Amino acid sequence: MLIVLAGTIGAGKSSLAKALGEHLQTDVFYEAVDNNPVLDLYYQDPKKYAFLLQIYFLNKRFESIKMAYREDNNVLDRSIFEDELFLTLNYKNGNVTKTELDIYKELLANMLEELEGMPKKRPDLLVYIDVSFDTMLSRISQRGRSFEQIDGQPALREYYHQVHGEYPDWFNQYDVSPKLRIDGDRIDFVNNPEDLNDVLSQIDNELKKLDLL
Ligand SMILES: Nc1ncnc2c1ncn2[C@@H]1O[C@H](COP(=O)(O)OP(=O)(O)OP(=O)(O)O)[C@@H](O)[C@H]1O
Ligand SMILES: Nc1nc(=O)c2ncn([C@H]3C[C@H](O)[C@@H](CO)O3)c2[nH]1
């Protein structure tokens, strides 16, 4: 089966993807963050680097998807279906032009069309980790990537607020595959083994309902 994780920045996607991969004995495809040559530049100067970052992520995401969709069992850390959310926000904030927006959308549509020709066409399940804005901020701070920290940067805090605010509607309208919402505020699947078992059971139950386990 192919499971994709979704959720705002710092929601816990990578952490849950790792645990889920171990639980289901599958490979995990992580988001391209560690060797990303554009991400820190984007946080320093979103106007200059927004379009390049969107293209970078889209390309890396598509690369992972192509590999993951060829295998039977995989977990993907963040879905390609969230990329447009970031793009649209960048457009609203004046960081990408209308021409860039249109070119990107066309490219994304082309790529999604390619997926229709692959052995597996879409995820079997999307797992959305829902967290409050306060939790999002505290997780970003706890993880400590320097360029993501908001100290003395009200504009970055506002950007996070916007990203967080877009997710509920995004999740409601998502209809590409079955979907499951996890309460990432209440459930500490990182530090509490009982909570982790609780999340894994919720996902197992969903997979059983879908005849995938
Ligand atoms: N449910 C949870 N309970 C407690 N801590 C958590 C939980 N989920 C994640 N964390 C912690 O929050 C931080 C961010 O988690 P993680 O990197 O998994 O988020 P992410 O959704 O992959 O973020 P990004 O979108 O930036 O890639 C990490 O320090 C992680 O240990
Ligand atoms: N602008 C922008 N567009 C994307 O498509 C996108 N995907 C991820 N990210 C940022 C969020 C985290 O800082 C970090 C890890 O998720 O990368 C993105 N940022």
**What is residue 97's predicted lDDT score, i.e. its pLDDT?**
97
Burial class (CB in 10 A: 0-12, 13-18, 19+), 151: exposed
Compute the half-sphere exposure of residue 195: CA atoms within 13 Å on the CB side of its CA: 12
- For residue 156, the domain's CATH number is 3.40.50.300
**What is residue 120's predicted lDDT score, i.e. its pLDDT?**
83
Pocket of ligand 2 (CB under 6 A): 9, 31, 33, 39, 42, 53-54, 57, 83, 86, 148
80 assigned binding-site residue: no
- Parent domain of 82: 2-209
Q: Which of the pair, 117 or 36, is modelled with greater confidence?
A: 36
Note the pLDDT tens digit of each residue in 127-164. Answer: 999 999 999 999 999 999 999 999 999 999 999 999 99
Query: Percent of the chain scored above 70 by pLDDT?
Result: 100
11 assigned binding-site residue: yes
Note the pLDDT tens digit of each residue in 165-210. Answer: 999 999 999 999 999 999 999 999 999 999 999 999 999 999 999 9
| Predicted interface score ipTM higher than 0.95 | yes
Least confident window among 15-29, 56-70, 154-168, 196-210:
56-70
Which ligand minimizes its atom distance to the CA of 51?
A: 2
Burial class (CB in 10 A: 0-12, 13-18, 19+), 4: buried
15 assigned binding-site residue: yes
160 assigned binding-site residue: no
Residue type, 73: N
3-state secondary structure of 147: helix
- Averaged pLDDT of the chain: 95
The average pLDDT across 12-34 equals 95
Number of domains in the chain: 1
- Label residue 71 by pLDDT band (50, 70, 90): confident
Expressed in angstroms and rounded, the spacing between residue 47 Cα and the centre of ligand 2 is 15
Burial class (CB in 10 A: 0-12, 13-18, 19+), 167: buried
Residue with tokens 């904030």: 93
Which ligand minimizes its atom distance to the CA of 96?
A: 2
Nearest CA to ligand 1 atom 9: 12
Phi, psi of 175 (to 5 degrees): -140, 20
Nearest CA to ligand 1 atom 8: 12
First to last CA, the chain: 9
Expressed in angstroms and rounded, the spacing between residue 76 Cα and the centre of ligand 1 is 15
Q: How far apart are CA 170 and CA 146, in angstroms?
A: 28
The average pLDDT across 41-68 equals 95
Q: How far apart are CA 87 and CA 51, in angstroms?
A: 8
Nearest CA to ligand 2 atom 18: 86
As a three-state string, the secondary structure of 68-123 is HHHCCCEEEECCHHHHHHHHHHHHHCCCCCHHHHHHHHHHHHHHHHHHCCCCCCCC
Please identify every residue annotated as catalytic: 77
